[in-house]
Structure 1
Amino acid sequence: MRFLRRSLIGIFLLAVTLALLAWAGSLVRGSVVARMNEEPRSFPQRERVLAVNVVTLEAQTLTPELTAFGELRSQRTLDLRSVTGGTVLEASEALQEGGTVTEGQLLLRIDPVEAEAARDRVRADLQDAQAELRDAQRSVLLDQDELRAAEAQAALRDQALARARDLAARGVGTAAAIETAELAASSAQAAVLTRRQAVASAQARIDQATTRLARAQISMAEAERDLADTQVFAAFDGTLADVTISPGGRVTPNERFAQLVDPTRLEVAFRVSTSQYARLLDGNGTLINAPVSVALDVAGVNLAATGQITREGARVGDGQTGRLLFAQLEAAPGFRPGDFVTVSIKEPALTQVVRLPATAVGPDETVLVVGAEDRLEVGQVRLLRRQGDDVIISVGELNGATIVAERSPLLGAGIKVRPIRPGVVEQPEQPEMIALDPDRRAKLVSFVTDSRMPDEVKARIIGQLEKDEVSSETVARLESRMGS
Structure 2
Amino acid sequence: MARKKQIIIPIAILAIGIGAYIGFSSMKKPPEEKAEVDNTPIVEVKNITVMPMTMKVSSYGVVKPKYETTIVAQVSGEVVELSDTFVRGGLVKKGQLLARIDPNDYHAALIDAQANMASARAALETEVAQGKVAEKEWQQITDTSPTELSLRKPQLAQELANVKSAQAAILRAERNLQRTEIRAPYDAMINSRSIGLGSFVGVGSEIGMLLGTAVAEVRLPVADNQLQYLINQGLQSKVNLSGTFAGEAIQWPAEIVRSEGVVDDNSRMTYLVAEIQDPYYLNDHNQESALPLRFGAYVTAKILGINIEHASIVPQYLVVNNQVALLDSDSKLHYADVNIVRQEGGNVVINKGLLDGDQLIVSSLDYPVEGMKLSLVTDVQDEQNDNSSTSAEKIDVVNNENEGE
- 2:315 paired residue number: 358
Distance 1:130-1:235 versus aligned 2 partners, 3 A rule: same
TM-score normalized by the length of structure 2 = 0.75
- 2:39 paired residue number: 47
Distance 1:435-1:380 versus aligned 2 partners, 3 A rule: closer
- 2:228 paired residue number: 278
1:87 aligns with 2:78: yes
Q: Percent identity?
A: 20
SS of residue matched to 1:145: helix
Task: Give the residue type in structure 2 aligned to 1:362.
Answer: V
SS of residue matched to 1:68: strand
- Superposed counterparts of 1:147-158, under 5 Å: 147-151=138-142
SS of residue matched to 1:350: strand
* Aligned residue pairs, count: 355
Q: Deviations over 1:105-129 (max 9, x none)?
A: 2110012244334334433433342
Aligned-partner Cα distance in 2 for 1:372–1:418:
12
1:208 aligns with 2:200: no
**Contact 2:55–2:229 (CA under 8 A) maintained in structure 1:** no
Q: Deviations over 1:223-249 (max 9, x none)?
A: 110111011112333211122222122
SS of residue matched to 1:277: helix
Residue among 238, 254, 257 paired with 1:291:
238
1:376 aligns with 2:330: no
Distance 1:123-1:363 versus aligned 2 partners, 3 A rule: farther
- 1:63 paired residue number: 54
Distance 1:433-1:216 versus aligned 2 partners, 3 A rule: same
Aligned-partner Cα distance in 1 for 2:222–2:385:
54
SS of residue matched to 2:130: helix
Q: Which has the higher helix share?
A: 1
**Contact 1:355–1:390 (CA under 8 A) maintained in structure 2:** no
- 2:170 paired residue number: 220
**Contact 1:143–1:198 (CA under 8 A) maintained in structure 2:** no
SS of residue matched to 1:135: helix
Residue among 295, 309, 332 paired with 2:256:
309
Task: Give the residue type in structure 2 aligned to 1:429.
Answer: N
- 1:456 paired residue number: none
- 1:22 paired residue number: none
Residue among 325, 328, 350 paired with 1:393:
350
- 1:326 paired residue number: 273
- 1:140 paired residue number: 131
Task: Give the residue type in structure 2 aligned to 1:226.
Answer: N
Residue among 289, 300, 304 paired with 1:346:
304
Aligned-partner Cα distance in 1 for 2:108–2:363:
87
- 2:17 paired residue number: none
Residue among 358, 367, 370 paired with 1:402:
358
**Contact 1:263–1:337 (CA under 8 A) maintained in structure 2:** no
Aligned-partner Cα distance in 1 for 2:376–2:241:
43
Aligned-partner Cα distance in 2 for 1:207–1:426:
114
- 2:27 paired residue number: none
SS of residue matched to 1:304: strand
**Contact 1:368–1:412 (CA under 8 A) maintained in structure 2:** no
1:236 aligns with 2:186: yes
Q: Which has the higher strand share?
A: 2
| Structure 1 residue 301: Cα displacement | 0.9
Task: Give the residue type in structure 1 aligned to 2:269.
Answer: G
- 1:96 paired residue number: 87
- 2:208 paired residue number: 258
Q: Deviations over 1:298-321 (max 9, x none)?
A: 454111111222211133343342
1:119 aligns with 2:77: no
Distance 1:434-1:269 versus aligned 2 partners, 3 A rule: closer
**Contact 2:63–2:217 (CA under 8 A) maintained in structure 1:** yes
Task: Give the residue type in structure 2 aligned to 1:196.
Answer: T
Aligned-partner Cα distance in 1 for 2:302–2:110:
58
Aligned-partner Cα distance in 1 for 2:276–2:361:
38
Aligned-partner Cα distance in 2 for 1:127–1:338:
55
Q: State the superposition RMSD in angstroms.
A: 3.5
1:367 aligns with 2:324: yes
TM-score normalized by the length of structure 1 = 0.64
Q: Deviations over 1:454-473 (max 9, x none)?
A: xxxxxxxxxx998459xxxx
- Which is worse superposed, 365-374 or 408-417? 408-417
Q: Deviations over 1:22-75 (max 9, x none)?
A: xxxxxxxxxxxxxxxxxxxx99654264342411354x4321111111222223
Task: Give the residue type in structure 2 aligned to 1:47.
Answer: N
**Contact 1:54–1:420 (CA under 8 A) maintained in structure 2:** no
Distance 1:88-1:402 versus aligned 2 partners, 3 A rule: same
- 2:66 paired residue number: 75
| Structure 1 residue 82: Cα displacement | 1.6
- Superposed counterparts of 1:185-200, under 5 Å: 192=144, 196-200=147-151
| Structure 1 residue 405: Cα displacement | 6.2
Structure 1 residue runs of 5 or longer lacking an equivalent are 1-41, 155-191, 442-463, 470-484
**Contact 2:71–2:210 (CA under 8 A) maintained in structure 1:** yes
**Contact 1:316–1:322 (CA under 8 A) maintained in structure 2:** yes
| Structure 1 residue 426: Cα displacement | 7.5
Task: Give the residue type in structure 1 aligned to 2:155.
Answer: R
1:269 aligns with 2:229: no
Aligned-partner Cα distance in 2 for 1:63–1:436:
55
| Structure 1 residue 401: Cα displacement | 6.3
SS of residue matched to 1:315: strand
